[in-house]
Amino acid sequence: MTALALPRIGLQVPRSIAPGALLAANATVSRFLIEAEAFDEDDIPVTWSDSLDACRQALDGWLKRQIGALYCLTPRFALHMVSSDGDYYRYYGSQPPKDFDFGAVEASWCEYHEQEWPVGAGLEASSARLPGLGSVILHVLCRQSAFVYPLFTPDIACDVTTYLYWCGEDDEETALDMNCGEDEEEREAMRAEMVSKATLEASFPAWARRWPRGLELTQCARFLRRAIKRLSDPSVKVMAEDALALTRLEVDDSFRPDIDGEFVGFGAVLSWREGDVTTRIYDDLLNLAHQGEYCEHMGEVRVPLDDPGAFAAWQRAMASRFEAIRLIDRLIHHLSAGN
């Protein structure tokens, strides 16, 4: 008996169809990355059918080697195609844009999986070992992460609260005036529902609620060096060492995104206790941001396709940021140990 054979599709029927202009653009970007020496030869897969996908795999290998394994953070880097005029290549429907002038690439990065990490107990334990240590570690973390891997910390939560709920004022009274007038019963009901000044004071200690003005990195480093000599608890000592290493990294705002709108590109939410008000404020900020323009990238750089050297320069400049990401990740991990 002859087995029924499934109907075959002739070889002359193409298995995939790509517009010629896009194939040419892929080749241009692949050549750009190779000329930039963006990755080692060993990073290129042995076999490949799509040159750009091979480049992606090679860049992914380079990135993984640069940053290494992380405990808490999951950075995601992306390379976008941009026209010479700065327009993004966007494609949603069945027809890709015609005559798109591929003139540059833009690398951007963000956190793929931002999560809540309760750090209050770890910071308080540090301060219990050495008064002021928790405050200094938190400050170093806030300050050095700001341009590398911004964290949603208690001081930012307090600042956001003022304009999310309090009409930009220092407490909720104006918002209550606007919504409830003189009706005391209604005021108290709304106060109980909203994030009030009392909620913040109950959630975070005073030293975590405000950015310590005047506290410079050099002072933090001096404090941490002395602390390391005095600390005997190895778990606290390692945090002080990581914080000290973080102070030594030179990071600036070179690759800060130039986008209008609310910034929500945070790498992690550092709450004080698990499930405290921090995540509620963060979620409300996201909800507000998503109603208008917002920015969820931590950093970005745009490089013309005729300047591969600039891409290589960006990769070199990222070295200290990769080191910072490792240290920020380790500090969050140690501070939230047990969570």
Which residues of the shown chain bind other proteins in the complex (CB under 8 A)?
6-9, 13-19, 22, 25-26, 29, 50, 52-53, 55-56, 59-60, 62-64, 66-67, 69-81, 89, 91, 93-96, 100, 102, 112-113, 162-165, 167-168, 175, 178, 260-262, 288-289, 291-294, 325
User: Is the CB of 81 or the CB of 240 nearer to other proteins?
Assistant: 81
Comparing CB distances to other proteins, the nearer of 58 and 123 is 58
Per-position b or e across 220-240, b if 16+ CB within 10 A of its CB: bbebbeebbeebeeeebbebb
Q: Which is nearer to other proteins, 25 or 200 (CB)?
A: 25
Least Å distance between CB 218 and other proteins? Answer: 26
Q: Is the CB of residue 138 less than 8 Å from the CB of residue 215?
A: no
- Residue listed under structure tokens 């009274």: 173
Of the candidates 56, 29, 32, the one whose C-alpha atom is nearest the C-alpha of residue 43 is 56
Residues 228, 206, 164, 115, Cα dihedral to 10°? 30
Contact predicate 264/200, CB 8 Å: no
Alpha carbon distance 211, 133 (integer Å): 15
Least CB distance to other proteins at residue 140 (A): 22
Smallest separation (angstroms) from other proteins to the CB of 229? 32
Distance (Å, rounded) from C-alpha 337 to C-alpha 331? 10
Q: How far is the CB of 84 from other proteins (least distance, A)?
A: 15
Backbone angles phi, psi at 107, to 5 degrees: -95, 135
Closest CB to other proteins among residues 56, 129? 56
* Spatial CB neighbours of 202, under 8 Å, sequence gap ≥ 6: none
Provide the 10 A C-beta neighbour count for residue 288: 15
**Token couple for 118:** 């309760």
Q: Which is nearer to other proteins, 154 or 267 (CB)?
A: 267
Question: C-beta of 196: minimal distance to other proteins in Å?
Answer: 15
Question: Closer CB to other proteins, residue 50 or residue 171?
Answer: 50
The residue among 157 and 175 lying less far from other proteins, judged by its C-beta, is 175
| Least Å from the CB of residue 70 to other proteins | 4
Query: Minimum Å distance from CB 137 to other proteins?
Result: 22
Q: Which residue has the tokens 């970005």?
A: 300
Contact 33, 59 (CB under 8 A): yes
Nearer to other proteins, 162 or 219 (CB): 162
Q: Distance from first CA to last CA of the chain, Å, rounded? A: 65
Burial label for 119, CB within 10 Å (0-12, 13-18, 19+), is buried
**How does DSSP assign 207-273, residue by residue?**
HHHS--TT--HHHHHHHHHHHHHH---HHHHHHHHHHHHHHT----STT-----SEE---SEEEESS
Shortest spacing between CB 73 and other proteins, in angstroms:
6
Closer to other proteins by Cβ: residue 71 or 207:
71
Min separation Cβ 41 and other proteins, Å: 17
